[in-house]
Amino acid sequence: MRAKEPIEEYQADQDLDETTAEQTGFGRRKFVSLCLGGVGALALTGLAAVVYPLFRYYLVPHSTQSSAATFQIPLNDLVAGEAKFFEFNGSAAVLLKKQDGSMVALSAVCPHLGCIVQWEQNKQDFLCPCHAGYFTADGAVISGPPPRALAKLPFNIANNIVTVG
């Protein structure tokens, strides 16, 4: 019996690979495609993790006033249960008239990694969308990774004008 030539051996291996791929329905090309798809998905996830917080920051409703050291708003413009977002000292802030009529002014910057919180009017709490951090209407941490409460900002009311700062 003669030994197989290298070319015959190679051909036999190829036939075996194709048979195996046909049997399993999972060839090398499919494997490489899946690997490349996985790398692409990871890259997109990483990109989203960087871009989303920036996107959120620029979605914050900005006041018509520039980023001043004070923010003023007529008392009558505040509705119980609603929050007004504005820029304060170059950062996002929020003034909330709670349902009981009392008010609170807070930094809208999450103390975890700096994303901007959202007011959930139906739940009357703040949500940080980046890592699901929840805060009470007073800014205290309810759950999630934030290590501390939202920072309180000073405000006063005079002549039916609310002044933050």
* Binder among 115, 137, 162, 164 for ligand FES (CB under 6 A): 115
In this chain, which of 30, 123, 131, 148 binds ligand FES, going by CB under 6 A? 131
Least CB distance to ligand FES at residue 139 (A): 13
Q: In whole angstroms, what is the distance from residue 106 CA to residue 92 CA?
A: 9
Residue linked to tokens 């007073």: 138
Is 137 among the residues that bind ligand FES (CB under 6 A)?
A: no
Residue 135 half-sphere exposure toward CB, CA atoms < 13 A? 30
What is the spatial distance between Cα 33 and Cα 104, in angstroms, rounded to a whole number? 54
Task: Determine, following the binding rule CB under 6 A, whether residue 136 of this chain makes contact with ligand FES.
Answer: no
Is the CB of residue 150 less than 8 Å from the CB of residue 163? Answer: no
Among 83, 106, 128, 150, binds ligand FES (CB under 6 A): 128
Distance of alpha carbon 22 from the chain centroid: 44
Residue 113 binds to ligand FES (criterion: CB under 6 A): yes
Binding site for ligand FES (CB under 6 A): 110, 112-113, 115, 128, 130-131, 133, 144-146
